[in-house]
């Protein structure tokens, strides 16, 4: 049997040290720790996939809490059953002693573990939904206060319309027009199209 640990944080700002310390205390060696900095909405994560390729029958997978494994109810249940039933490995969730497949392999133990797993998986996904809702509400409130998100708009030079006309008449290429405006070709093209749309709307009025 070999013991592996899995760590997940959602963003680069989050610290994984607490998970790493707990797994090391449990007995997982540093070289057998796999960490992803990615959302738990699904299991399309590079280090998790590497870990799956390493895991063999009778190995042990350890995670700090069930939401570190994932935050998608259906996906957590599927991965858990695939790992324990198909791959034949054991899983330990440090924050929830009942989720230790090495114990209670009889019918009652399996039944209790399944109930706890389903409840915790539901809570994990529900928290993910709440986080997204709070983020959306925060962004909406910030926009109402006049806070802008994303990159500031690229200013156009005073002779922008002249450059646009020269480009449309094929007197200069797209890359030359973009360079004259100190823009990327895609940015110039988008602004040129919007300028033309405004011009057409004004002439129609």
Is residue 53 very low, low, confident or very high in pLDDT (cuts 50, 70, 90)? very high
Q: Please say if 10 is a catalytic residue.
A: yes
Residue 31 CA: distances (Å) to CA of 21, 34, 45, 46, 164: 14, 8, 18, 16, 58
| Residue from 10, 39, 113, 182 carrying the catalytic annotation | 10
- Spatial distance between the Cα atoms of 107 and 114, rounded to a whole number of angstroms: 11
> Can you give the length of the chain in residues?
205
Q: Write out pLDDT tens, residues 101-154.
A: 887 665 544 555 677 677 666 666 666 666 667 666 666 676 677 766 666 666
Task: Find the angle CA(180)-CA(183)-CA(185) to the nearest 5 degrees.
Answer: 95
Is the pLDDT higher at 51 or at 119? 51
pLDDT in tens, 106-119: 554 455 567 767 76
Q: How confident is the model at residue 22 (pLDDT cuts 50, 70, 90)?
A: very high
Chain centroid, CA 184 distance in Å: 28
Q: For a pLDDT cut of 90, what percent of the chain falls above it?
A: 23
Among 29-33, 125-129, 181-185, the least confident range: 125-129
- Residue range 16-44: average pLDDT? 92
């Amino acid at each position: 049997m070999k013991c592996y640990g899995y760590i997940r944080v959602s963003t680069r700002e989050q610290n994984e040290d607490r998970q790493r310390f707990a797994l090391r205390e449990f007995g997982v060696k540093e070289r057998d720790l796999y960490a992803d900095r990615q959302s738990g909405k699904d299991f399309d994560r590079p280090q998790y996939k590497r870990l799956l390729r390493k895991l063999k029958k009778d190995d042990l997978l350890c995670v700090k809490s069930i939401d570190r494994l994932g935050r998608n109810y259906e996906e957590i249940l599927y991965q858990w059953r695939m790992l324990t039933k198909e791959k034949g490995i054991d899983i330990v969730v440090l924050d929830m002693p009942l989720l230790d497949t090495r114990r209670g392999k009889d019918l009652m133990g399996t039944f209790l573990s399944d109930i706890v797993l389903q409840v915790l998986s539901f809570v994990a996904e529900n928290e993910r939904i709440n986080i997204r809702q709070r983020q959306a509400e925060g962004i909406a409130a910030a926009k109402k206060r006049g806070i802008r998100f994303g990159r500031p708009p690229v200013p156009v030079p005073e002779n922008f319309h002249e450059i646009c006309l020269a480009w449309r008449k094929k007197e200069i290429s797209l890359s030359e027009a973009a360079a004259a405006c100190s823009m990327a070709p895609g940015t110039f093209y988008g602004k040129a199209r919007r300028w033309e749309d405004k011009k057409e709307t004004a002439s129609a009025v």
